[in-house]
Chain A
Amino acid sequence: MASQLVMYEEEFHRINGVCDRLTKDANAKVVFLVDKNGQLISAAGQTHNIDTTSLASLTAGNVAAMGGLAKLIGENEFPNQFHEGAKDSLYMTLVGGRVVLVVIFDNRTSLGLVRLRIKKATEELEKIFAALAARSAAPGAGSPFAEISDADIDNLFSE
């Protein structure tokens, strides 16, 4: 069974930093980082009028469906996807097989520049996620919820 994803303060700030920088360097509108299971990890740029939770879930659905298609034709995965719209376009990249980097951009930038900057960001993100995985697997990193009581859980449902 896949281990659960645990995010710590330090890595979280580094990840947010990479997404922020990518938004600026690529001249993109928005950058998202989404777990393959549909949980939003980070968002940077003009996120205010986007439903980020829905975006994360649909991204995961799309990546899962494309991954299924890839396997059908004998590919392991399609690591990059590009969708061109009338105004805005969208680029998705798999990072470390575990998360998806989504960049939304318009004609103030170019696909070439976006691709180039994504490549650099992906390398940095891969390192951070490797560090996270090592930290979660370290001895003593037991369940962070071991200390909650049955009463805590019951309280959540009493009203």
Chain B
Amino acid sequence: MSFINYSSREINCKIVYYGPGLCGKTTNLQYIYNKTNPETKGKLISLSTETDRTLFFDFLPLSLGEIRGFKTRFHLYTVPGQVFYDASRKLILKGVDGVVFVADSQVERMEANIESMENLRVNLQDQGYDLNKIPFVVQYNKRDLPNAVSEDELRKVLNPRKVPDYPAVAPTGVGVFDTLKSVAKLVLTELKKGGA
């Protein structure tokens, strides 16, 4: 649910990074944070455990520039991927405008990917959203690891709807901005259509 302010001429949108534990959601935000100009970003807030697992969420506000005199701001959130934090994941999806599903390409994480995707579908439904309609992109992360499943295989299992998808290596930034731009674009296009 975007927030449009005619008075300050701003438009704010919320994007959520979803996916199984340790798939690289927080790493995506850290990379974006490290690579953007100080003027365009706010603080990266991470509510995490002592072992750097996301406990509630990470949050990064970003400005992407102006469209017809409106400043466009994106609020990026990650959810905690660990299965038992489901209540928190639900809360973070409230008011979401676009979702990035970060998949872990490693063969032993296939089941976790599938479970997390199903969990996303159910939690979105609880909030009144339909995964088949919401602006949505998929990222196949950890392409650098030797035990990575082929992209085709991942696509078959995780992206039957054929939404935009990107191979990625989040720590070095491969695919990170492609993913972000793609979902941001889908969100703005949806706004243009008068959705939300």
A152 vs B7: C-alpha distance in the bound complex, in angstroms? 21
Q: List 30 A-B contacts (CB under 8 A).
A: A1-B127, A1-B129, A2-B95, A4-B1, A5-B4, A6-B3, A7-B5, A7-B8, A9-B7, A12-B6, A38-B75, A39-B75, A54-B45, A54-B59, A58-B45, A61-B57, A61-B91, A64-B94, A65-B88, A65-B91, A68-B87, A143-B191, A143-B193, A145-B4, A145-B188, A145-B192, A146-B192, A147-B68, A154-B185, A157-B185
Question: How far apart are the CA atoms of A6 and B2 in the complex, in Å?
Answer: 8
CA distance in complex: A75, B57 (Å): 24
A contact residues around B92 at 8 Å (CB): 64
Q: Which residues of B contact A130 (CB under 8 A)?
A: none
Cβ of B163 under 8 Å from chain A: no
| B residues in contact with A58, CB < 8 Å | 45, 59
Complex alpha-carbon distance, A40 and B91, angstroms: 18
Return the chain B residue nearest A142 by Cβ: B194
Cα separation A145 to B9 with both chains bound (whole Å): 12
Q: B residues bordering A, Cβ < 8 Å?
A: 1-8, 11-12, 14, 42-43, 45, 47, 56-57, 59, 61, 64-68, 72, 75, 87-88, 90-92, 94-95, 127-129, 181, 184-185, 188-189, 191-196
Most chain A CB inside 10 Å of its own CB: which residue of B59, B91, B95, B191: B95
Q: Which residues of A contact B129 (CB under 8 A)?
A: 1
Q: Which secondary structure characterizes the binding site on chain A?
A: mixed
Q: Which of A23-66 contact B (CB under 8 A)?
A: 35-39, 41, 51, 53-54, 57-58, 61, 64-65
- A153 with B67: CB separation less than 8 A: yes
Closest 7 A/B residue pairs (Cβ): A143-B194, A37-B95, A12-B7, A64-B91, A7-B5, A39-B3, A4-B196
